[in-house]
Copies of this chain bind each other. A is one copy, B any other.
Amino acid sequence: MAAGWLFGKDARYVNDPEQHIVVLGGGFAGLTFCQSLRHSRARITLVDRTNHHLFQPLLYQVATAGLSAPEIAQPIRSILSDHEKVTVLLDEVRDIRLAERKVMLAGQTLEYDYLVIALGGATSYFGHPEWEQFAPGLKSLDDAMRIRRDVLLAFERAEMEADAERRRKLMTIAVVGGGPTGVELAGSFAELTRTVLKGDFRRINPSDSHVVLIENSPRLLGAFSEDLARSARDQLESLGVEVWTGCRVEEIREGEVKVSRNGSVETLAACNVIWAAGVGASPLTRGLGVETDRAGRIKVEPDLSLPGHADVFALGDLALVMDDNGKPVPGVSPAAIQMAQHTARTIRDELDRPHRAGRRPFKYWDKGSMATIGRSAAVAQVGKMEFSGLLAWLAWLFVHLVFLIGFRSKAAVLLHWIYSYCTYKRGARIVFGEETRPPDAGA
Q: Give a binary string over A50-66; 1 marks a CB under 8 Å from any B CB, 0 the rest.
A: 11100000000000000
Q: Can you list 8 pairs linking A and B with CB atoms under 8 Å apart?
A: A50-B432, A51-B430, A51-B431, A70-B427, A74-B430, A78-B200, A90-B156, A107-B160
**Given A50-B436, A160-B108, A440-B106, are A70 and B419 neighbors across the interface (CB < 8 Å)?**
no
Q: Which of A49-102 contact B (CB under 8 A)?
A: 49-52, 68-71, 73-75, 77-78, 81-82, 84, 86-92
In-complex Cβ contact of A429 among B51, B92, B141, B201 (8 A)? B51
Tell me, yes or no, whether A152 is within 8 Å of chain B by CB.
yes
Give the interface segment out of A9-17, A322-330, A404-412: A404-412
Contact between chains at B200 and A432 (CB < 8 Å): no
Contact of A89 among B50, B68, B159, B416 (CB under 8 A): B159
For chain A, residues 118 to 146, give those with C-beta under 8 angstroms from any C-beta of chain B: 140-142, 145
Q: Is A218 an interface residue (CB 8 A)?
A: no
Given contacts A69-B430, A89-B159, contact A201 B49 (CB under 8 A): no
Binary contact track A274-296/B, C-beta < 8 Å → 1, others 0: 00000000000000000000000
B430 and A409 contacting across the interface, CB-CB below 8 Å: no
Which of these, B141, B142, B436, B438, contacts A107 with CB under 8 Å? Answer: B438
Contact B200 A75 (CB under 8 A): yes
- A400 contacts B by Cβ under 8 Å: no
Min CB gap A146→B, angstroms: 10
* A310 CB-CB contact with B under 8 Å: no
Besides A70-B429, A75-B430, A108-B160, 9 other A-B contacts (C-beta < 8 A): A50-B436, A51-B152, A70-B428, A71-B427, A75-B429, A81-B199, A90-B157, A408-B427, A411-B419
| Residue A166 at the chain B interface, CB threshold 8 Å | no
CB distance from A222 to the nearest CB of B (A): 31
**Pair A438/B90 contact, Cβ less than 8 Å:** yes
Shortest Cβ gap from A430 to chain B (Å):
5
Decide if B415 touches A69 in the complex (CB within 8 Å): no
Query: Given the known A-B contacts A160-B107, A415-B415, A432-B141, are A438 and B203 also in contact in the complex, defined by CB atoms under 8 Å?
Result: no
Minimum distance in angstroms from A143 CB to a CB of chain B: 10
Shortest C-beta distance, A356 to chain B (Å), equals: 31
Report Cα–Cα, A437/B87, bound state, in Å.
Answer: 18
The answer for the CA separation of A84 and B202 in the assembled complex, in Å, is: 8
Which of B91, B159, B412, B430 is the one whose CB lies under 8 Å from A52?
B430
Give the complex CA separation of A84 and B200 in angstroms.
Answer: 9
A105, closest chain B residue (CB): B438
Asked whether B91 lies within 8 Å of A438 as measured between CB atoms, the reply is yes
Task: Write the nearest CB–CB distance from A209 to chain B, whole angstroms.
Answer: 15
What's the least CB distance linking A150 to chain B, in Å?
Answer: 13
- Taken residue by residue from 246 to 264, chain A's Cβ proximity to chain B (1 for < 8 Å, 0 otherwise) reads as 0000000000000000000
State in angstroms the CA–CA spacing of A412 and B71 once bound together. 11
A442 in contact with B202 given A69-B430, A75-B430 (CB within 8 Å)? no
* A8, CB-defined interface residue at 8 Å: no
In the complex, the answer to whether B70 meets A430 with C-beta atoms within 8 Å is yes
Question: Hey, which chain B residues are within 8 Å of A163, CB to CB?
Answer: none
Q: What separation, in Å, do the CA atoms of A157 and B423 have in the docked complex?
A: 43
Cβ of A357 < 8 Å from any Cβ of B? Answer: no
Contacts of A165 in B (CB 8 A): none
For A84, A88, A434, A436, which residue has the most chain B Cβ atoms within 10 angstroms? Answer: A436
Shortest 9 CB-CB distances between A and B: which pairs? A77-B200, A106-B441, A90-B156, A68-B70, A141-B432, A87-B202, A92-B441, A70-B428, A73-B430
B160-A429 in contact (CB<8A): no
Contacts of A412 in B (CB 8 A): 412, 415-416, 419, 427
Given known A-B contacts A69-B432, A430-B141, A160 and B89 have beta carbons under 8 A apart: yes
Which chain B residue lies CB-closest to A436? B50
- Closest B residue by C-beta to A106: B441
| CB closest residue in chain B, given A73 | B430
Query: How distant is A314 from chain B, measured CB to nearest CB, in Å?
Result: 23
A425 at the interface (CB under 8 A from B): yes
